[in-house]
Amino acid sequence: MKHPLRRAAAACCAALFLAGGGAIAQAPTAPTSSSSTEAAANQAVQYTLPNGMTVIVKPDRRSPTAVHMLWVRVGSMDEVDGTTGVAHVLEHMLFKGTARLAPGEFSRRIAAMGGRENAFTGRDFTGYHQQIPAAKLEEVMRLEADRFANNRWPDEEFRRELEVVKEERRLRIEDSPRSMLYEVISGTVFLTSPYRRPISGWMSDLHSMTAQDAREFYQRWYVPANAALVVAGDVDPAQVLRLAERFYGSVPARAVPVRKPRTEPQQAGMRRVEYKGPAEQSYVALSFKVPQLRSFEPSADSDDALALTVLAAVLDGYSGARLDRALTQGEDRVADSAGAGNGLWGRGPQLFTLDGVPAPGKTPEQVEAALRAEVARVAREGVSEAELQRVKTRWIAAEVYKRDSVFSQARELGTFWAWGLPLDSAERLMERLKAVTAQQVQAVAAKYFVDDQLTVGILRPIPRDPAARPRTPPAGLRH
């Protein structure tokens, strides 16, 4: 399981707040040339409705389509023990109707427009999205605002959908030994952070979950001030704002519940866990606790978080990078595959992960030692300027290519909002990454990869049950 750099599409806007149209707008600065005029017209703009809801618009007029996304800043990290998985269950239930819509009718109407729709739940947020012809935006906004404010369904509908969610967990987690290993690792790495709980929830909690649990979670967290509308594509920001005021602005304002801090205690010794599962090969994952990027202002933690991201790319950012060359090539190769990734940012604490699959005749312990040896080599010898330039050039190219996807632009703007970051975080990130030096990369390689920050997880294969039959995806599978 890899944790690659979460790149973002470029989205420029100035930190100028203007009042107008019943909303607070974060507007672009005035253009000075024809090229800057065009660029300004395509910048992301942010508004705040009187009820506290955020509206973000990113024009992109290259095709007559639009992406409409509703983000709620709530995920598995906002759950409590005993009702784990409720954020994901509630995501499913939002497709089950309102006073105006029967169960499943939302999806049927989107399909009739020629659109596509789905939803997702993460640790930090929940999102609902539709990709539709731009001319259908008003109709889609009416539908989404209705289910955001008026979601309702009978208990029997909940019971049926809960069985779909359970089957999803069996298919995606319980039938995947590596996924099960990562659940064990998360529960070991984190003691107090809610990141220790799985997004899908513990099966025992799903078995005991009630319709009222989901309704209470919905009433608590699905409030305007905890939500953001993101629209990207062939749209006019002023028109989107008018529609948002019409459909979302009428939702009554309510206070967002106070989130109490749950600070992870300092780790004081290596932790080791194992999981035995029916796999063809063993697997090892090393998780190191590292600082995260909370803002773009220079600081010790933010500088180190950026340098760790560059280190991950030097180790595993392209075909033939250091881990590939050192561990997976040659007659005496130790691994069939090896990877590295840095959790740069998020609402909760982050990890730097090294992982690998042992080659035939090799052990997870040998892969573990080889992974750590490559980091130690960087700490001892440093990295070359050519390596730095290669990974930075690849990132810049990826940023340019990513703008071809309107959906990616919308999703990343929503992600930035959920993490409390500015709309132009992609550009700020790229500027900060380009400034990371070889000396900084060498310094973080020497600082953070120590035993006291480490949790090691190993998957030990066991024979498969010959009577076990492969599962088929449930009919209600959404993601």
Of 306, 151, 147, 164, the closest CA to residue 214 belongs to 151
Catalytic residue check, 216? no
Assign 362 to helix, strand or coil.
Answer: coil
Residue pair 182/141 in contact (Cβ under 8 Å)? The answer is no
Bridge partners of residue 18, in order along the sequence: 25
d(CA 300, CA 137): 44
Assign 214 to helix, strand or coil.
Answer: helix
Residues 6+ apart with CB under 8 A from 45: 13, 25, 26, 27, 28, 56, 57, 58, 237
d(CA 55, CA 410): 12
Angle at 250 between CA 248 and CA 251, to 5 degrees: 70
Residue pair 57/42 in contact (Cβ under 8 Å)? The answer is no
Return the structure tokens found at 354: 């090294």
3-state helix, strand and coil shares in percent for the chain, rounded to the nearest 5: 45, 20, 40
Of 291, 275, 292, the closest CA to residue 283 belongs to 275
Residue pair 411/71 in contact (Cβ under 8 Å)? The answer is no
Classify the phi-psi angles of 294: left when phi > 0, otherwise alpha if psi is within -120 to 50, otherwise beta.
Answer: alpha
Burial of 418 (0-12, 13-18, 19+ CB in 10 A): buried
Q: Which of 79, 91, 144, 368 is catalytic?
A: 91
The CA–CA distances, whole Å, from 422 to 23, 389, 417 equal 18, 27, 7
Bridge partners of residue 268, in order along the sequence: none
Of 188, 201, 254, the closest CA to residue 225 belongs to 254
Active site residues: 91
